Amino acid sequence: DIQMTQSPASLSASLGETVTIECRASEDIYSNLAWYQQKPGNSPQLLIYDANSLADGVPSRFSGSGSGTQYSLKINSLQSEDVASYFCQQYNNYPPYTFGAGTKLELK
Protein backbone atom coordinates (compact mmCIF):
# COMPACT_ATOMS: atom_id res chain seq x y z
CA ASP A 1 0.00 0.00 0.00
CA ILE A 2 1.10 3.57 -0.68
CA GLN A 3 1.61 5.60 2.48
CA MET A 4 0.83 9.32 2.44
CA THR A 5 2.73 11.49 4.92
CA GLN A 6 1.23 14.94 5.38
CA SER A 7 2.84 17.89 7.16
CA PRO A 8 2.43 19.82 9.28
CA ALA A 9 -0.25 18.18 11.41
CA SER A 10 -1.45 21.61 12.49
CA LEU A 11 -0.81 25.13 11.36
CA SER A 12 -1.65 28.58 12.66
CA ALA A 13 -1.60 31.51 10.25
CA SER A 14 -2.81 35.10 9.97
CA LEU A 15 -5.40 36.52 7.60
CA GLY A 16 -3.81 37.42 4.28
CA GLU A 17 -0.86 35.11 4.80
CA THR A 18 0.25 32.41 2.34
CA VAL A 19 0.08 28.86 3.66
CA THR A 20 1.65 25.69 2.29
CA ILE A 21 0.78 22.10 3.21
CA GLU A 22 2.97 19.22 2.10
CA CYS A 23 2.17 15.62 1.22
CA ARG A 24 4.78 12.94 0.55
CA ALA A 25 3.98 9.56 -1.00
CA SER A 26 5.93 6.39 -0.20
CA GLU A 27 6.44 5.85 -3.94
CA ASP A 28 5.95 7.74 -7.18
CA ILE A 29 2.23 8.46 -7.68
CA TYR A 30 2.60 10.24 -11.05
CA SER A 31 0.51 13.28 -10.01
CA ASN A 32 -2.50 11.09 -9.19
CA LEU A 33 -3.22 13.17 -6.13
CA ALA A 34 -6.23 15.03 -4.79
CA TRP A 35 -6.67 17.56 -1.99
CA TYR A 36 -9.80 17.96 0.12
CA GLN A 37 -10.99 20.62 2.53
CA GLN A 38 -13.14 19.67 5.50
CA LYS A 39 -14.68 22.49 7.50
CA PRO A 40 -15.77 21.74 11.09
CA GLY A 41 -18.96 19.70 11.14
CA ASN A 42 -19.03 19.26 7.36
CA SER A 43 -18.11 16.54 4.91
CA PRO A 44 -14.90 16.80 2.86
CA GLN A 45 -14.98 18.84 -0.34
CA LEU A 46 -12.74 18.32 -3.34
CA LEU A 47 -10.28 21.18 -3.93
CA ILE A 48 -7.65 19.86 -6.33
CA TYR A 49 -7.30 16.76 -8.53
CA ASP A 50 -4.45 15.50 -10.72
CA ALA A 51 -2.12 17.38 -8.35
CA ASN A 52 -2.77 20.81 -9.85
CA SER A 53 -6.27 21.00 -11.39
CA LEU A 54 -8.73 23.18 -9.51
CA ALA A 55 -12.14 21.61 -8.89
CA ASP A 56 -15.26 23.49 -9.99
CA GLY A 57 -16.15 26.44 -7.80
CA VAL A 58 -12.89 26.44 -5.82
CA PRO A 59 -11.37 29.92 -5.37
CA SER A 60 -8.21 30.62 -7.35
CA ARG A 61 -6.24 31.37 -4.17
CA PHE A 62 -5.93 27.57 -3.83
CA SER A 63 -3.31 25.86 -5.94
CA GLY A 64 -1.60 22.49 -6.07
CA SER A 65 1.81 21.47 -7.33
CA GLY A 66 4.33 18.69 -7.22
CA SER A 67 5.42 15.52 -8.92
CA GLY A 68 6.86 12.12 -8.14
CA THR A 69 6.52 11.65 -4.39
CA GLN A 70 6.33 15.30 -3.26
CA TYR A 71 3.21 17.46 -3.48
CA SER A 72 1.95 20.66 -1.94
CA LEU A 73 -1.21 22.68 -1.49
CA LYS A 74 -0.83 26.45 -1.33
CA ILE A 75 -3.40 28.91 -0.08
CA ASN A 76 -2.70 32.51 -1.03
CA SER A 77 -4.12 35.39 0.96
CA LEU A 78 -5.68 33.29 3.72
CA GLN A 79 -9.34 34.03 4.42
CA SER A 80 -11.33 33.25 7.58
CA GLU A 81 -13.44 30.73 5.65
CA ASP A 82 -10.30 28.69 4.94
CA VAL A 83 -10.17 27.50 8.56
CA ALA A 84 -10.52 23.77 8.07
CA SER A 85 -8.70 20.46 7.94
CA TYR A 86 -7.01 19.53 4.68
CA PHE A 87 -6.33 16.00 3.42
CA CYS A 88 -4.36 14.64 0.51
CA GLN A 89 -5.33 11.37 -1.25
CA GLN A 90 -3.51 9.22 -3.79
CA TYR A 91 -5.26 7.29 -6.53
CA ASN A 92 -2.30 6.03 -8.53
CA ASN A 93 -2.29 2.56 -7.04
CA TYR A 94 -5.48 1.15 -5.57
CA PRO A 95 -6.96 -0.54 -3.74
CA PRO A 96 -6.59 0.90 -1.29
CA TYR A 97 -7.07 4.57 -1.92
CA THR A 98 -5.03 6.22 0.82
CA PHE A 99 -5.26 9.57 2.56
CA GLY A 100 -2.81 11.69 4.46
CA ALA A 101 -3.49 12.12 8.17
CA GLY A 102 -4.62 15.70 7.66
CA THR A 103 -3.56 19.24 8.47
CA LYS A 104 -5.65 21.38 10.79
CA LEU A 105 -5.44 25.04 9.79
CA GLU A 106 -6.36 27.68 12.35
CA LEU A 107 -6.19 31.46 12.46
CA LYS A 108 -3.49 33.10 14.52
For CA atoms 23, 28, 29, 30, the dihedral sign is: positive
- Assign 62 to helix, strand or coil: strand
- How far apart (Å, rounded) are the C-alpha atoms in residues 41 and 31? 29
Q: Please identify, using beta-carbon distances, which residue of 31 and 75 lies nearer to another protein.
A: 31
Q: How far is the CB of 98 from another protein (least distance, A)?
A: 7
* Under rule CB under 8 A, residue 69 binds another protein: no
Find the angle CA(72)-CA(75)-CA(80) to the nearest 5 degrees. 140
Q: How far apart are CA 102 and CA 11, in angstroms?
A: 11
Q: Is 94 in the site for another protein (CB under 8 A)?
A: yes
Rounded-to-integer distance, Cα 62 and Cα 16, Å = 13
Is residue 64 part of the contact set for another protein (CB under 8 A)?
Answer: no
Count of residues near another protein by CB under 8 A: 23
46 belongs to the binding site for another protein (CB under 8 A) = yes
- To the nearest whole angstrom, how small is the minimum distance from the Cβ of residue 53 to another protein? 10
- Give me the residues that bind another protein (CB under 8 A), please: 32, 34, 36, 42-46, 49, 55, 87, 89, 91-92, 94-102
